[in-house]
Structure 1
Amino acid sequence: MTCQRTLFALLDVLCPMHVVLNTSGHVSHAGPTAVKIAGDRPLVGERFLELFELLRPRAVTSMAQLLQVAGVKLHLRTREPTQSGIKGVLVPLPDGGGAVVNLSFGISILDAVRDYALTSADFAATDLTIEMLYLVEAKSAAMAASRKLNQRLQGAMIAAEEQAFTDTLTGLKNRRALDHILPRLVQERRAFGLMHLDLDFFKAVNDTMGHPAGDHVLQRVARVLVESSRDDDCVARVGGDEFVLVFRGITDDETLGRIAQRIISEVEKPIAFQEQTCKVSASVGIAVFPGDVEATVDQLMADADRALYASKHKGRATYTIFAPCPRQKDSPDVL
């Protein structure tokens, strides 16, 4: 009996996921890991072939037949409810005293660790499974760190890209963004209205009240332009007090004129700054790209610029729509 206890103690350390079978094929002892995966189901006293379904070799139904496949790799499956795949090898005990079956999860070890909450303490210290678990854990940690790093890098790239296309003072798009948007619209033949806006008397605000007041005016004008446009439109600050608006799909003079007049009216409202009042107005030039004609971005910008200076010439605080062929119409909004 003492020798048997010593043997069981050795097996528990060297191969903790094992069962010892008596001559009738019933479990007389089970290693701690085998007991753990059995859960509430008792192992000792149970018939081995009723605890595990032997998939290969087939047609093994007795202890005598088990002994005949000693040393052969056994493919087993636990009975309900888990039905985990298990590998095993049977070694007979001396003097016909039964057998030891050492068990392993094989390549299913990762599933087993999850399903049975196994830890390194459930395996022999020299078991290569421990090394594999450490490698898997290290790989998982490295992949998680890599994903976080990639997310941070992607976020940084997006932030840098947004910053590169954004005017820091007003939060509007800048000239670089406009140079990216306009060529694509022209190339794709997408119709749009192009509005070039310049502030009147802005230099006087800067000269008499200082640059902080000028910055405040620019930010106020930026809000007016955003509120006068749609989410799909482009509003850009392209110079000190110059702005460009791109209205996608809007090409009729009446609508563009109505938008321009609303902007002019809002910009003309006095702007309070530190107990003082800033007064500016806006001159606007408009060009139209109908989408079905040949045109270049430079040409469209030049057309809007010509219309803008026509508005300046007419006395400021007005808008002009560029027309390639001047129409016979006495209208202040047609160049």
Structure 2
Amino acid sequence: MRLSPDAMACLMPMHVWVCPKGLIRRVGPTLQKLRPAAPLAGRRFLDVFELRRPRGVHTLDDFAGPEGARLQLAFRSAPCTALKGLIIGLGEGEGALINLSFGISVVEAVATYGLTVGDFAATDLTVEMLYLVEAKSAVMEESKKLNQRLQGARIAAEEQAFTDTLTGLKNRRAMDHVLARLVDERRAFSLMHLDLDFFKDVNDNLGHAAGDHVLQHVARILVEETRGTDTVARAGGDEFVLIFRDLVDMPRLKGIALRIIRRLEEPILFNGEPCRVSASIGTAVSTQYPAAEAAQILHDADMALYASKRAGRARATFAGEPLRRGSDAAGNGDAPLH
């Protein structure tokens, strides 16, 4: 029984029919697709393919018997794709039939040559493997998307965990994290502790909505008066902490503090009603300590803050600084931070 070329192409799309002289008579459509520039028919089989197994074979007659033999070969020209095959002799004067496959390199070959399911025989297990590979790729892509969503959710959750919901500033937890990192890195920094003056009067007289409005307004001013590398946090209630990375110049810090106080003393309108607050500030500078510790710096800035309160409010005091009553009120600001 002799199969038609179409039947051969359907059953074995990567077959090679070689004549007794070693010339290629016909190839399957998929095999020809691997070398689209010129027809393979008419070329010498061993000029197209490098025979790797078995070794020492120079003609097809050396191993093309009716019982068949296994081959390992590769294209001689780039891309030098490796192939596996089975060769069977077709009898006197007919030559040999070789059926080729990609073996385990099929996935790479599909990508290299743009092959599709239609390039393989319907009964070829390669088709099933391609479906599995495609399914795996789809699963991995979905897994990647899921991981990206989870990563986004984690980042959002962490951001929320470090953010004060009312003002949008960092919260106490974030402040502690920044302080610990600066201390561990032995970076120079200053810490400014600010507490609003007369804020209780706003809540008592105009209500908590007015108080929230004031806190949001204060937050905006503090962000405007600091740099992108600084940290502005709401430590709780009407208390705020400003951390200035690599800024320890005390006259400059004094100027920033007094300018903040001046801006906060400007009336803040809420529903047409003026809300009047001010601020007392205490500042500690890390370079004043032999070995900076976050808890000690926070404590000393807090003590300086209450020294400002006792001196009459609306003042800025440095930790360890002898307070001269009235000299540190908000009328003495100097150069801006920016």
TM-score under structure 1 length normalisation: 0.87
Write the distance in 1 (CA, Å) between the matches of 2:211 and 2:325: 36
Q: Specify the SS of the correspondent of 1:4.
A: coil
Which one of 179, 199, 203 corresponds to residue 182 of structure 1? 179
1:244 aligned onto 2:241:
yes
Q: CA deviation at 1:113?
A: 0.7
Which one of 305, 327, 331 corresponds to residue 332 of structure 1? 327
* Superposition pairs of residues 127-166 of structure 1, within 5 angstroms: 127-166=124-163
Write the distance in 2 (CA, Å) between the matches of 1:186 and 1:52: 68
1:35 aligned onto 2:39:
no
2:2 counterpart letter in structure 1: Q
The answer to which of 245-254 and 173-182 deviates more is 245-254
Q: Is the 8 A contact 2:191 2:301 kept in 1?
A: yes
Q: Is the 8 A contact 1:192 1:246 kept in 2?
A: yes
* Per-residue CA distance 1:78-115 (angstroms, 9 max, x = gap): 24353322222210013442210111122221221112
Write the distance in 2 (CA, Å) between the matches of 1:94 and 1:258: 102
Q: Specify the SS of the correspondent of 1:176.
A: helix
Tell me the matched-pair count. 329
Q: CA deviation at 1:243?
A: 0.5
- Match in the other structure for 1:4: 2
* Superposition pairs of residues 1-335 of structure 1, within 5 angstroms: 3-6=1-4, 8-65=5-62, 67=64, 71-290=68-287, 292-294=289-291, 296-323=293-320, 326=322, 332-333=327-328
Q: CA deviation at 1:16?
A: 1.9
* Per-residue CA distance 1:212-263 (angstroms, 9 max, x = gap): 3222221121111112222222211011211011222333431221110111
Write the distance in 1 (CA, Å) between the matches of 2:167 and 2:49: 73
Residue 82 and residue 182 in structure 1: after superposition, are their counterparts in 2 closer, same or farther (change >3 A)? closer
Residue 20 and residue 184 in structure 1: after superposition, are their counterparts in 2 closer, same or farther (change >3 A)? closer
Q: Specify the SS of the correspondent of 2:34.
A: helix
Q: Specify the SS of the correspondent of 1:290.
A: helix
Write the distance in 2 (CA, Å) between the matches of 1:69 and 1:293: 92
* Per-residue CA distance 1:142-189 (angstroms, 9 max, x = gap): 222212111111111111111101111111111111222223433444
Q: Is the 8 A contact 2:14 2:31 kept in 1?
A: yes
2:95 counterpart letter in structure 1: G
Residue 318 and residue 291 in structure 1: after superposition, are their counterparts in 2 closer, same or farther (change >3 A)? closer
Q: Is the 8 A contact 2:189 2:287 kept in 1?
A: yes
Write the distance in 1 (CA, Å) between the matches of 2:296 and 2:204: 34
Residue 148 and residue 291 in structure 1: after superposition, are their counterparts in 2 closer, same or farther (change >3 A)? farther
Q: Specify the SS of the correspondent of 2:150.
A: helix
* Per-residue CA distance 1:62-84 (angstroms, 9 max, x = gap): 44345379733323222435332
Q: Is the 8 A contact 2:284 2:319 kept in 1?
A: yes
Residue 191 and residue 62 in structure 1: after superposition, are their counterparts in 2 closer, same or farther (change >3 A)? closer
TM-score under structure 2 length normalisation: 0.86
Q: Which runs of 5+ in 1 are unaligned?
A: none
* Per-residue CA distance 1:13-72 (angstroms, 9 max, x = gap): 332210112232223332232232232422333332233233444554444345379733
Write the distance in 2 (CA, Å) between the matches of 1:81 and 1:183: 59
Q: Which runs of 5+ in 2 are unaligned?
A: 330-338
Q: Specify the SS of the correspondent of 1:67.
A: coil
Q: CA deviation at 1:121?
A: 1.9
Residue 81 and residue 296 in structure 1: after superposition, are their counterparts in 2 closer, same or farther (change >3 A)? closer
- Match in the other structure for 2:332: none
Q: Is the 8 A contact 2:17 2:97 kept in 1?
A: yes
Q: Is the 8 A contact 1:194 1:287 kept in 2?
A: yes
Q: Is the 8 A contact 2:192 2:301 kept in 1?
A: yes
The answer to which of 67-76 and 259-268 deviates more is 67-76
Q: Is the 8 A contact 1:72 1:90 kept in 2?
A: yes
Q: Percent sequence identity over matched residues?
A: 56
